[in-house]
Amino acid sequence: MNGVLGAVFELAPPNELTAIFKIAGIVVWVLAAFAGPTLGRRTGGAVGLIGLGLAVFFVPDMWVIVDAAFD
């Protein structure tokens, strides 16, 4: 495929579980972006949600890297 549609399919995650982790990470980042002031007073707050989103987003990639390293 050529054009934009081909580029979109090239960036698609390799399986369904990876896609779920990526979407969950993005959802957590959106929650952190729109976190109200009450969440900011709790431990971690919006910054903690950003860290959680990073962790969830990169779990599939890190799993593949660790699996390849110890294979």
The single-letter DSSP state of residue 32 is H
Q: 1 pLDDT exceeds 60?
A: no
CB atoms within 10 A of CB 53: 20
pTM, to two decimals: 0.72
CB atoms within 10 A of CB 66: 10
Q: Which residue has the higher pLDDT, 66 or 7?
A: 66
Q: Are 17 and 60 in contact (CB under 8 A)?
A: yes
For 22-42, write each residue's pLDDT tens digit: 999 999 988 888 876 666 566
